[in-house]
């Protein structure tokens, strides 16, 4: 199946937000959109995500050198781009005409659907530079599980004792993964899988009940989201060498950190005081 990415000839309206923490924040808004969410970044600084048009329909987007391109899976009612690798391959999710969720890989202008065998719904969340795709799927009973698609073979990823899990990103070695799982006590935790069968939970300090891990770079930096409850106000975080740092764009009331490249540049989303969602890029202040 082949599909052209529609090129939208708008340059990024660079809106520098005030400096905060150790980062310089830039707001990302797709032109004429009602909301924009930035979800992935690669080594070149290309960014992918999704936006809502005036009718409330979600489309994926690529932001390359300040120019936005719309990404729409053919015939889909919704498209979202979640990650991209150094080669420019993009992984994401689309909803078909029957309302069913599928993952997708977009490579060299060609879309390939991704469906875990036997699943009733699949989402592709991350793609590494090695081409491994990770995400989550739902079984016929409605339970969610993580997966790794490596060299054309699906692998189920399950955190022992969890009541549902999903994978956000894989390192290039195909062994180290990060994601999120639910526990029997009703809490949600992030996790790092260092190798098959070896999982370490991630829980933001202070006894919070909701921590999610979205992305890991090749240096081992992890970004994600935390909150006192999973349905309430969220905040983004960076976990580096065992230390947590909150990542909140100035003026935000609800934030999420979704991706970090090897230069330490973070992308994510935030809601402003009016409740409108925007994407953001956070560049370390010492980056020149």
* pLDDT, average across residues 85-111: 97
Confidence band, pLDDT 50/70/90 cuts, at residue 288:
very low
Q: Is residue 7 scored above 50 in pLDDT?
A: no
Q: Express each pLDDT in 224-240 by its tens digit.
A: 999 987 777 899 999 99
Domain contains 112: yes
- Separation CA 267–CA 4 (nearest Å): 25
pLDDT band of 14, cuts 50, 70, 90: very low
User: Residue range 55-70: average pLDDT?
Assistant: 97
For residue 208, the model assigns a pLDDT of 67
User: Which pLDDT score, from 0 to 100, does residue 285 have?
Assistant: 87
Q: How far is CA 191 from CA 79, 138, 173, 224, in A?
A: 27, 19, 17, 11
| Residue 33 covered by a domain | yes
- Number of structural domains (the chain) is 1
Residue 144 lies in a domain: yes
Domain presence at residue 3? no
- Return the pLDDT at 232: 77
- 92-105 mean pLDDT: 98
DSSP 115: -
Q: What is residue 287's predicted lDDT score, i.e. its pLDDT?
A: 58
Q: Is 189 exposed, middle or buried (0-12, 13-18, 19+ CB in 10 A)?
A: buried
Q: Is residue 169 over pLDDT 50?
A: yes
Whether the model pTM is above 0.75? yes
- The whole-angstrom separation of Cα 138 and Cα 123 is 9
Separation of alpha carbons 227 and 178, rounded Å? 18
Domain that holds residue 107: 10-284
pLDDT tens digits, residue range 245-275? 999 999 999 999 999 999 999 999 999 999 9
Per-residue pLDDT averaged across 12-32, rounded?
A: 68
| Cα dihedral 103→177→265→50 (10° resolution) | 20
Q: Contact, 125 vs 91, CB < 8 A?
A: yes
* pLDDT number for residue 1: 37
Q: What CATH number corresponds to the domain at position 151?
A: 2.120.10.30
DSSP of 172-185: TTSS-EEEEEE-TT
Residue 261 lies in a domain: yes
Q: Residue 11 pLDDT more than 60?
A: no
């Amino acid at each position: 199946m082949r599909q052209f990415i529609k090129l939208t000839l708008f340059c990024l309206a660079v809106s520098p937000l005030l400096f905060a923490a150790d980062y310089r924040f830039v707001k990302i808004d797709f032109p004429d959109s009602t909301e924009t969410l930035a979800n992935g970044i690669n080594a070149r600084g290309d960014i992918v995500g999704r936006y809502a048009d005036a009718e409330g329909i979600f489309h994926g987007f690529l932001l390359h050198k300040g120019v936005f391109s719309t990404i729409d899976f053919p015939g889909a009612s919704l498209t979202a781009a979640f990650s991209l690798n150094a080669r420019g391959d993009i992984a994401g999710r689309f909803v078909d005409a029957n309302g069913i969720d599928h993952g997708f890989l977009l490579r060299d202008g060609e879309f390939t659907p991704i469906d875990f065998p036997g699943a009733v719904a699949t989402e592709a969340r991350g793609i590494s530079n090695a081409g491994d795709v990770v995400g989550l799927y739902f079984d016929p009973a409605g339970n969610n599980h993580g997966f790794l698609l490596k060299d054309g073979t699906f692998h189920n990823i399950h955190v022992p004792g969890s009541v549902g899990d999903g994978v956000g990103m894989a390192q290039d070695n195909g062994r180290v993964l990060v994601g999120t799982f639910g526990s029997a006590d009703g809490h949600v935790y992030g996790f790092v899988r260092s190798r098959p069968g070896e999982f370490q939970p991630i829980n933001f300090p202070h006894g919070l009940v909701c921590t999610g891990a979205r992305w890991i770079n090749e240096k081992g930096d992890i970004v994600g989201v935390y909150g006192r409850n999973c349905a309430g106000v969220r905040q983004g975080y960076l976990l580096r060498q065992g230390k947590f740092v909150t990542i909140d764009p100035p003026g935000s009331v609800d934030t999420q950190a979704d991706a970090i490249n090897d230069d330490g540049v973070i992308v994510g989303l935030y809601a402003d005081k009016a409740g409108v969602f925007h994407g953001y890029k956070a560049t370390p202040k010492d980056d020149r």
